[in-house]
Amino acid sequence: MQDKYFSFEIEKVCPVTGARAGIFHTPHGDIKTPVFMPVGTQATVKGLRPTDLDEMGAQIILSNTYHLFLRPGHEIVKEAGGLHKFMDYNKPILTDSGGFQVFSLSDLRKVSPDGVEFRSHLSGEKFMMTPELCMEVQEALDSDINMALDQCTEAGVTREEAEKARELTKIWLKKCYEAHHNKEHVLFPIIQGNMFKDLRAKCIEDCIPYARCGIAIGGLSVGEEKEVMYDILDFMQPKLPENMPRYLMGVGSPDCLIEGFARGIDMMDCVLPTRIARNGTAFSKYGKMVIKNSSYKEDFTPIEDDCDCYACKHFTRAYIRHLINAGEMLGAELLSIHNLRFLIRLAEKSREAILGGYFPEFKNDFLSNYKI
């Protein structure tokens, strides 16, 4: 997909799975795909500096429109020169529309074709997030990738509810597109439809006319079994545009990362790696490790022997366990560094395997060792 500011080139496709290796060209740098994107909801990846992100190989991060709209306010960020200057991060930034956050406020919101009326989770103050305002806020934030306002639904809703959400998402997408004027930003439409395949197919058709150089899949990992998510992705894979990045939103456990890449997904993100880090848990190639447990009290080995992250190169399980149990901030920071590097490296290895022609073997080997 060629564009003055954004373009996507596919370097290789796995003939067995459809996994893709590519390069997404953006105004703030190239992104080698597949890629895992750390989440910096409030204009920061919790506890980490931009230099930490650079050292772990992060190529792009996320921030959130809803949260930054409420605090400090998009006008403040604009006055600071945009998110890149505000947070001193010079690589690509994607901003979520806030649709998922508003979805989470089910008791505090009301949806209509005009937008979403909601009450702030901070102050209780009432706001109306329209598609036009959503674009205005993201324009002020000056993020590279802007997400369209969408309505997400949880697993288990009725077909009627899912269809209403899909129709609202379609109406809002058209309004977002018409209000999106900055060509140095790219708008990603979001495919909804819950677990109903025909609604997913309809929503793909709704989104394609508005997809300039990127399309997203929302409304998965919302309570359904992983096998259901994989089945929906399998159904959508041949229907998605081939010439632009495909972004699976809010999905990021190691097994889901591999399974997503195997279904042609190029970009993924999740708060999981930093969230479990704050609870004293680490990713490993064999599954999650609860480092705060007593079994690691006298374990003077790294979290993983073959990990190249700062935490594993300098500290032991015993030390990190001590920090977590003593309530020291550094413990959560070190585990966050490890967990993010683990997923970034998993994406890097997946890319190498696709380019090298051995992705199916790599996938099977990883999943056979990783215990959920």
Catalytically annotated residues: 96, 269
CA distance 273 to 13: 28
Identify the helix (H) or strand (E) that includes residue 216.
Answer: strand 215-217
Cis peptide, bond prior to residue 34, ω within 30 of zero: yes
Q: Are 145 and 94 in contact (CB under 8 A)?
A: yes
Q: Are 215 and 244 in contact (CB under 8 A)?
A: yes
**Which residues lie closer than 8 Å to 196 by C-beta, 6 or more apart?**
159, 162, 163
CA distance 19 to 262: 5
Maximum Cα–Cα distance across the chain: 60
**Which residues lie closer than 8 Å to 167 by C-beta, 6 or more apart?**
none
The two structure tokens encoding residue 103: 């979805």
Q: Are 259 and 230 in contact (CB under 8 A)?
A: yes
